Structures are given as C-alpha cells and as structure tokens.
Amino acid sequence: MQIIYIGNPILREVSKPVEKFDEELGAFVEELTKTMYEEDGVGLAAPQVAVSKRLFVFDDGSGPRVIINPEIIEKGTEEVTMEEGCLSIPGIYANITRPSWVKMRFQDVKGEVNEEVFEGYAGRIVQHEYDHLEGVLFVDYLSPAKKALLRPKLNNIIKGKLAR
C-alpha cells in the first residue's frame, strides 16, 4: 500500500460511502493501519492510498481505531491552534485552528453505528482525517501569505520530486 501526495486528484474528491462490511473491508483496514504505523503517522485516510472510500484509521496513543462513514454532528465552539502535518504532504507543517472537540456518528468495521465525542489530540486527528474524506487538505486552512511561503515546497511535491 502506497501513500499518494498532494497533486493527485483523488485527494480532492469527496469519498464514497462504504457499503459492504465484509472480509475484504477488514483486510483493507488491517493494511491501512499497518501502513499508518510504517509511515510513522497518527492517522491515515483511505483517499491517501488512492481509495476513494469514507474511512480512516488513527491512533492517538491509546491503540488503533477505525472510523467508517463518519458524520460530524456537533462541534465545540472553542477553537484550538496546533501544528499539523500530513503523510500526503511530506515535510510541511503549519499551525491550524480547529474546534476543540467534535461529536461524530460513524460505523465500525462490522457496520455497527456509534456516536462519540473526540477531544484533545484525538479530536485533532479525527478532524484532519475527516477532511481527507471531504477532499480537503490541512494547507487549505492557511492564509494566502503562508501558502505563498510554502508554494515552492508544495510545487516540488506536486511536480513529483517526492511523488510516488
């Protein structure tokens, strides 16, 4: 399983819902989780491995989790700014402001529906990964000035100097 980089159009698509909860899905989730750890990430969304499906895996330090067909149903009004990076945009880091928590409705690998509030580090990760399912990258939140400063690095990634 290989991670794709900014510039690949799949990263800008709104992902399609997962409809089949079967052994194939379980195997994909296992491989996605393995890839996340191999790449030293804390989250990895299906679109980042060129699969346009609404699912991601993450580990905030308490073990691997799987989120399928997520929907953000509530957000905190307080915002927190933290540095973010992304496996699909290697070497780029920036401070991003997001809600301090989100409440999400989602399915697990068996198709069971769950609701959970994610706050702190987990809240940050799930919002970042959820964005991938919507075709949004963390650099989209940057000011025009910050984007201009990063443009040469982003262009190198897009042009394929680091592309796979």
Q: How far is CA 156 from CA 47, 91, 145, 150, in A?
A: 21, 11, 18, 10
27 labeled part of a ligand binding site: no
Q: With left for phi above 0 and alpha for psi between -120 and 50, is residue 12 left, alpha or beta?
A: alpha
86 is an annotated ligand-binding site residue: yes
Picking from 15, 102, 85, the residue whose alpha carbon sits closest to that of residue 51 is 15
Q: Quick check: is 83 catalytic?
A: no
Q: Is 110 annotated as a binding residue?
A: no
Among candidate residues 38, 78, 116, 129, the one labeled active-site is 129
Q: Output the known binding site.
A: 86, 128, 132
Residues labelled catalytic: 129
